[in-house]
Amino acid sequence: MNNQEEKNVNTEIEEDEGDLIEGERQPPFQTPKGVHDILPVDHEYYTFIKKIIRHRCRQAGFRRITTPAFEYTEVFKRNLGEITDVVTKEMYTFLDKKGRSLTLRPEGTAGVVRAFIQHGMSESPQPVALYYIEPFFRYERPQAGRYRQFWQFGFELMGESDAALDAQSILLAYRIFQDLGIADTLKLQLNNIGDLNSREIYAQALKDYFCGKERYLSEEDKIRLKKNPLRILDSKHEDTIILNQSAPIFKDFVSPESVAYHEKVKEYLTDLGLEFIENKNLVRGFDYYNQTVFEFWDEKKQGQNSLGGGGKFDGLVELMGGQPTPAIGFAMGLDRVIAQMKRNKIRVPSKDYLHVFVAQLGQEAKKVCLPLIDQLRENGVKTMGALGKGAIKYQLRIADKFKVPYCVLIGLTEVREGKAIIRDMRVGTQVTVPFDKVVPEIIKRIGKIDLDYYDPKSPV
Ligand code: AMP
């Protein structure tokens, strides 16, 4: 792993990042806090990951969707849960020039559901299976694995409810982790948080329980109690924690249907050979979830150890103005996935290397070089050249820096004789060939299999 690679995604972002270290000269412009560039070395990971995602999703009948990077604020504010951390503290919200409130998307599901309704997808064959690979934005306290702009791959299956679909969704996520070489490092956490009806009955029971005890609650907990009583169970307030110990327990409110549904999901997962840990404390960060919820954790890792999670959101389409539409979805954090792959020394194929450097001497030679470079590239030979005015020796030094295996050299004599020199840079030998033999000779040497050739007419 080179330095650049280590510095990028894996970097621990310090609170005072951006401050000058005494004596050190920094470029005048830096990335804002909590965001990072994706340099070419990391793009090799992104390219690899996207390829796997594309294949796995296509095999399972998913099609790609891209929603805008920002939506009207209400899309998130009303539908993720008004008192969730993301909505209360983490959204990048701004007014446009006409005073409309817009928000950079903090997650993918609300935008996809908005698109599902807006484009009448309830008329399409169900379930509608969509996936996305996009950047998301949350104003969080930056640290390793937690950024203010981060990438997620996610999918949503809308229009069907079946425990078998839950199992299939979990399996799809697992297969992708497996293809990426990190499934063994992750443990699947599984829970059922009940159906919407039992959650409502339970919420009312919590409200009744806290009725008359409001004076012990913090302001924040009073709001929680009013807007989403289930959130009061996460309270960090000392008095609330004590009161929570005697509060009604959700288990007593879960409907027999939910219990049966959960049993089915577990049965299917077991049949598929997928190991899981039943985690009764697992709740997801947004209010739209119900029934099955799941996450993939690296249990050995401290801090940001969830690489992806999802669950059912049967009420969201209706909440956002559509027809009642059961649904399930999943999202995986790609920045964390890449960091995990690096920790596990997973190498990805790199195609970003050159085959040939074309060096020339003099204006006449340069003219001959340009169509030759074009021909080489047209045939899938990765070529750079016709650079600089320096001596051949100087150009060979450039070629060396790019670590090309072959150089094509054209000087005045070669132009006059209609020939070119092919130099094997690894052993230092060279041959002279007629001009029209350069491309076939190079292809023979690098081998057809390594050509970077793409036929736009062939299926992707
Ligand atoms: P969530 O739906 O919030 O659980 O997000 C799904 C996945 O996205 C998480 O499991 C993480 O892998 C990733 N993720 C969420 N927030 C961030 C962040 N601020 N920075 C990097 N990755 C994140």
Q: What is the pLDDT of residues 369-422, one digit of tens each?
A: 999 999 999 999 999 997 777 788 889 999 999 999 999 999 999 999 999 999
Mutate to test the pocket of ligand 1, among 177, 191, 335, 337 (most ligand atoms within 8 A of CB): 335
Q: Is 150 in the pocket of ligand 1 (CB under 6 A)?
A: yes
Identify whether the C-beta of residue 320 lies closer than 8 Å to the C-beta of residue 79: yes
- Tell which wins on pLDDT, 10 or 302: 302
Convert the pLDDT of each residue in 9-56 to its tens digit: 433 333 444 444 556 688 999 999 999 999 999 999 999 999 999 999
Residue 298 in 3-state DSSP?
coil
Q: How far apart are CA 299 and CA 290, in angstroms?
A: 24
Tell which residue, 62, 13, 60, has the closest CA to residue 335.
Answer: 13
Position 83 scores a pLDDT of: 84
Q: Which of 62-76, 92-106, 115-129, 300-314 has the lowest mean pLDDT?
A: 300-314
Tell which residue, 349, 383, 351, 390, has the closest CA to residue 369.
Answer: 383
Convert the pLDDT of each residue in 319-365 to its tens digit: 999 999 999 999 999 999 999 999 999 999 998 999 999 999 988 89
Among 166-170, 226-230, 409-413, top mean pLDDT goes to 166-170
CA of 267 from ligand 1 middle (Å) equals 28
Residue with tokens 């948080």: 193
CA of 163 from ligand 1 middle (Å) equals 25
| pLDDT > 70 fraction of the chain, expressed in percent and rounded | 94
Q: How far apart are CA 157 and CA 153, in angstroms?
A: 14
Q: Is 135 in the pocket of ligand 1 (CB under 6 A)?
A: no
Tell which residue, 418, 338, 304, 313, has the closest CA to residue 6.
Answer: 338
CA of 257 from ligand 1 middle (Å) equals 31
All residues at 6 or more sequence positions from 453 whose CB lies less than 8 Å from its CB, including other chains: 379, 380
Identify whether the C-beta of residue 143 lies closer than 8 Å to the C-beta of residue 174: no
63-64 and 128-137 beta bridge pairing: parallel
Position 460 scores a pLDDT of: 58
What's the rounded mean pLDDT across residues 143-156?
96
CA of 332 from ligand 1 middle (Å) equals 7
Q: For residue 308, which atom of ligand 1 is closest to its CA?
A: 10
Q: Is 331 in the pocket of ligand 1 (CB under 6 A)?
A: yes
- Tell which wins on pLDDT, 302 or 413: 413
Q: Is 147 in the pocket of ligand 1 (CB under 6 A)?
A: yes
Q: Where are the alpha helices (DSSP H) in 246-362?
A: 256-271, 316-319, 334-343
Q: How far apart are CA 219 and CA 215, in angstroms?
A: 10
CB-side exposure of 451: number of CA atoms within 13 Å?
A: 19
Torsion-angle region of 375 (φ positive above 0: left; ψ -120 to 50: alpha; else: beta): alpha
Q: For residue 332, which atom of ligand 1 is closest to its CA?
A: 7
CA of 136 from ligand 1 middle (Å) equals 9
CA of 333 from ligand 1 middle (Å) equals 5
